Amino acid sequence: MVEESPMVEFKDVTKIYSKSKQPAVEHISFKINKGEFCCLIGTSGSGKTTLMRMINRMNSVTKGQVLVNGKDVKKFNLVNLRRKIGYVIQNNGLMPHMTIRENIVLVPKLLKWPKEKLNEEAERLIKMAELPESYLDRYPAELSGGQQQRIGVVRALAADQNLILMDEPFGALDPITRESLQNLVQNLQMQLGKTIVFVTHDMDEALKLATKIVVLHDGKLIQVGSPEEILHHPANKFVESLIGEERLSEAKYETVKVKNVMTAPVKINLGASLNDALAMMKERHVDTLLVIDDDNHLKGYISIADLQRKYPHVSSVSDIMLPINATVGPEEYLRDNFSRILSRNGQYIPVVDAERKLIGVVTRASLVNVVYEKIWGEKKPATEELEKKAN
Amino acid sequence: MSKLGLWQQFIYYYQHNGSYVLQQFNRTFLISIYGVLFAAVVGIPIGIFISRNAHLGNFVVEIANFIQTIPSLALLSIIMIAMGLGVMTVIVTVTLYSLLPIIKNTYTGMKSVDKNVIDSGKGMGMTKWQLLYLVRLPLSMSVIIAGLKNALVIAIGITSIGSFVGAGGLGDIIIRGTNATNGSAIILAGALPTALMAILADLLLNFLQKWLQPKGLRN
Ligand SMILES: Nc1ncnc2c1ncn2[C@@H]1O[C@H](COP(=O)(O)OP(=O)(O)O)[C@@H](O)[C@H]1O
Ligand SMILES: [Mg+2]
């Protein structure tokens, strides 16, 4: 099968504005596939807008190549390229002297569609914007900011553009209006399978909408990845700061697995003597031992209480062993087992793999660490440290 | 002579020279209009052109400002030396004076069109011409017409003076009055319609300005 070319591809792209020596963006390479919702995120001045505007040639490319559907944007007829790409900017950019109807069908009109088709399209799109049809004959100034931006969004779909560029489209809206607009865009994108390039400086917005996030800083590409990847494996301190302390520790807590916090078990072989067991308890300062067979399979446990009671009469660990019901697997999420571990009478819960081989224990003490980090954040990356301990 | 006498004379003058006054009224009006129209034909494209370049824009507006500072009688005389007596001299002077308000307002109007609107027009794939006649011109129309209005009012004033170089018009009546003994009524007979014309021109263009203002921008 021939691989489909990506909707947009940046190939080692650098942009230097005339009159400035510093490149606004440099050596940027990444791809945006069809149907992806790609958020460009970064602080102000990081080059998000510059990068986005090179796609429809609102900015020229200084070095490198920008490809749309596998074709260098320079090879397109400028006007045709732009008519094929939807364009939404922050302050909606509606024509104040045109009615909503005229605004919506502006691109189809430039493309010289017949008149009946224009009206049909206007009616179809105002429905999509979830606004009454009577608004078609109003002027932009007669609509609220959120309503205007709804028109701005659907206008970008009027000529059935498959690629839509949006530059902080909801930046100027209040949080509630912003959320409803985000939902609108998300629904449209999912229903219609459009490819969207969306500039934002709001990580919440990016995490909510994106299927791919591109992090920029000082004109350089820092990280490209899915929201999950960005959230759970931020490339560096800068990405972490974009995500924010709170969301970061939340995310970490969310994804801590049992294997990340388990510690080495104190265990004894089924065939060992009670003398050995007693000595091990004393040495390790524990009152129970997990019992395994020669292949490390978990068989049960023994406790100091039973040992004391039966000591002279029996001599082997297997004679006083009790069965264990509760175990967890190493790949299970800690958050799903939290209460189970805490509510158990014992101090710990054994971790066994698929073959019931004992690989560790989760103690109440290790839960304390996790909660501590979730609430107070952490100085060192928690999961990595714990992983080290576990291995 | 009593005040009543002045008005009686004034009315008497109109009763006997009504058609002459009307003719001169028309003449003044046409000279002014021609001057402004020429200025518009030259000035509006210049204003549009220089709005793309701030340096050039400032430079051209400076030149127009400079022309404006020359007293009208002086400019009229200078042009008369070049072009001789007659109506063309006045029309050229009016054109030169009208250039400033027209260029300046076109330039300002073009500059003041919301950058976002232009950006989105461009981004949607408008050609330069489409951007000009679908966006930039409609949105600066009212400022441009305000410029024409200023130009026309100034033009009417200059045309009245223009009678000194033999262009005719209402100024002729005023000059006649200044030459006659007891000519106050005649001066008034020329001056009053001149003032009236300026006021009417202002009103008319105000109306035109409102009418041409795109609907979505009216409050
Ligand atoms: N038209 C321009 N001319 C010169 N420099 C520009 C222009 N537009 C942006 N820049 C510069 O390029 C850099 C990136 O800007 P921009 O892409 O607008 O960032 P962002 O959208 O991430 O805030 C900034 O340093 C900015 O000053
Ligand atoms: Mg920006």
Instruction: Read off the amino acid at residue A358.
Output: L
Would residue B5 count as lying in a domain?
Answer: no
10 Å Cβ neighbour count for A218? 16
* ipTM for this prediction: 0.82
Residue B19 maps to a domain: no
Determine the pLDDT at residue A287: 87
Q: Any idea what the CATH number is for the domain that residue B95 is in?
A: 1.10.3720.10
Give first-to-last CA distance, chain A, whole Å. Answer: 42
* B197 within domain boundaries: yes
Looking at the DSSP bridge assignments, the partners of residue A196 are: A37, A164
pLDDT tens digits for range A73-83? 999 999 999 99
Query: Between A286 and A57, whose confidence is greater?
Result: A57
Tally of domains within chain B: 1
Tell me the C-alpha distance between B179 and B170, whole Å: 15
Q: Sorting pLDDT into bands at 50, 70 and 90, what band is A387?
A: low
User: How many CB atoms neighbour CB B87 within 10 A?
Assistant: 18
* Pocket of ligand 1 contains residue A59 by CB under 6 Å: no
Testing the interface with A: which of B113, B118, B124 to mutate, by most A Cβ within 10 A? Answer: B124
Q: Dihedral of the CA atoms B99, B103, B104, B105 (nearest 10)?
A: 110
Task: Give me chain A's average pLDDT, please.
Answer: 88
Residue B13: inside a domain: no
- Which structural domain range is residue B190 located in? 27-213
Beta bridge partners of B170: none
Q: Examine residue B179 and state whether it is found in any structural domain, yes or no.
A: yes
Per-residue model confidence (pLDDT) at position B136: 95
Q: How many other C-beta atoms can be found within 10 angstroms of the C-beta atom of residue A107?
A: 25
Res. A249: pLDDT tops 90: no
Q: What is the pTM of this model?
A: 0.77
pLDDT score at A379: 52
pLDDT of B1 reads 46
Contacts of A86 (CB under 8 A, 6+ apart): A155, A156, A157, A161, A163, A164, A165, A194
Least confident range from A93-107, A268-282, A306-320: namely: A306-320
Which amino acid, one-letter code, is at B156?
A: I
A54, A15 contact by CB (below 8 A): yes
Q: What is the mean pLDDT of residues A112-135?
A: 94
pLDDT tens for A352-361 read 998 899 999 9
Mean pLDDT of B21-38: 93
pLDDT of residue A61: 95
Is residue B22 domain-resident? Answer: no
Q: Does the beta carbon of A45 sit less than 6 angstroms from any atom of ligand 1?
A: yes
Q: Hey, which of B49-53, B131-135, B210-214 has the most confident mean pLDDT?
A: B131-135
On the question of pLDDT at B47 being above 90, the answer is yes
Rounded distance from Cα A92 to ligand 1 centre (Å): 20
For the record, the structure tokens of B41 come out as: 């034909």
Query: What 3-state DSSP class applies to A152?
Result: helix
Window 95-124 of A: residues touching B by CB (8 A cutoff) are 95-99, 106-107, 110
pLDDT score for A155: 94
Percentage of chain B modeled with pLDDT above 70? 98
Residue B90: C-alpha distances to residues A222, B41, B94, B174 (Å): 69, 17, 6, 17
Q: How many residues does chain A have?
A: 391
pLDDT digits (tens, 9 = 90+) for B144-161: 999 999 999 999 999 988
Pick from A211, A213, A209: which is nearest to A223 by CA? A213
Residue B9 resides in a domain: no
Distance of CA A22 to CAs A18, A40, A44, A270, Å?
A: 10, 20, 16, 71
Q: What is the pLDDT of residue B151?
A: 94
Average of pLDDT values for B126-138? Answer: 95
Q: What is the spatial distance between Cα A55 and Cα A66, in angstroms, rounded to a whole number?
A: 7
Q: In DSSP terms, which residues pair with A25 in a beta bridge? A: A15
Render pLDDT for B165-198 as a digit per residue (tens, 0 to 9): 888 888 888 988 888 888 888 899 899 999 999 9
The answer to whether residue B161 is domain-embedded is yes
Q: Whose CA is nearest to atom 26 of ligand 1?
A: A45
Residue A32 dihedral angles phi and psi, to the nearest 5°: -125, 115
What residue ranges define each of the domains in chain A, with the CATH number in brackets? 8-243 (3.40.50.300), 259-371 (3.10.580.10)
Q: Is B116 on the interface with A (CB under 8 A)?
A: yes
